[in-house]
Amino acid sequence: MGTQAVVTIIDQFGATRSFWGAWASPEYLIPYVADFLTWVDHDQHQLTTHTWLTYADTFPGTLPRVEVTGTQAALDDHIGDLDYRYRLSLHQDSNGVLLQVYNLRDTARHRQGEPTLIAELTRANLFAEAARLCDVQAERAYRQADLTGSGQPSDGDPAGWRRRANRFREVHASTPVTALNANLAAQFHPATYDVQYPSVRVAGIWIFGYVHRDGTVRIAVHLDEVEPWLLRPDRTVPMRVAIQDTTVFEA
């Protein structure tokens, strides 16, 4: 038996279902989740539990598929023979993802009351972590070959792991993921007694939205510190302004 784990999926309505897998250590499961999301995006599937099951059936041996919903194994405080527990929140409308990884080995070994949260991943960092883990697996395969003296890796295909790592890095570097990183890192600056106007700073852009003392709503955008990835070749920034979902300015 490999590394046993249970993945509990929470959909955007709060419904939960749990699935057990026999080979579900983070170095295997996180890249598989990244593959799953890539497939969802490429084929424009809805991000739901049903889609998870469809992928698991289409690509056996990847995602945990054995349902344990309603059993003791689905309980958050159950350890038993489990090594890890995952909580995967899927938001269908926004395509948002939150994957939380808990190490149960340390909890059992040290008799701790709560499992140890070892990773919390969204679309902003999941592909980068998947790439890192694929590199770890490739190095492990090479080391195993050296230890056995066979000259041939026996623990997976290093070249295959490297290809997956490169593919995940490409996704991580894509505009949608970079934009999500920027949005998650956005900073809100409220008005104070000596700073009249509230603002948001995102991707180096300062956006001021405020009510002027003459009673007009004003929006000002300052681009002096814009991050380079947003710039067009002519050094302009793509921009769209909408009021009540109607575009009133686009450049």
Question: pLDDT (tens digit, 9 = 90+) per residue, 147-180?
Answer: 655 554 445 688 899 999 999 999 999 999 999 9
Question: Do the Cβ atoms of 238 and 251 come closer than 8 Å?
Answer: yes
**Residue 148, number of CB atoms within 10 A of its CB:** 12
Question: How far is the C-alpha of 207 from the C-alpha of 23, rounded, in Å?
Answer: 47
Residue 43 has pLDDT above 60, yes or no: yes
Query: What Rg, from alpha-carbon coordinates, does the chain have?
Result: 23
Closest CA to 237 of 206, 197, 200, 209: 206
Question: How far is the C-alpha of 75 from the C-alpha of 140, rounded, in Å?
Answer: 33
Tokens 């990847």 belong to residue: 62
Q: How confident is the model at residue 113 (pLDDT cuts 50, 70, 90)?
A: low
Q: What pLDDT digit, counting tens, does each position of 66-112 carry? A: 999 999 999 998 899 999 999 999 999 999 999 999 999 876 555 56
Question: Do the Cβ atoms of 80 and 73 come closer than 8 Å?
Answer: yes
Mean pLDDT in residue range 38-63:
97
pTM of the full structure: 0.87
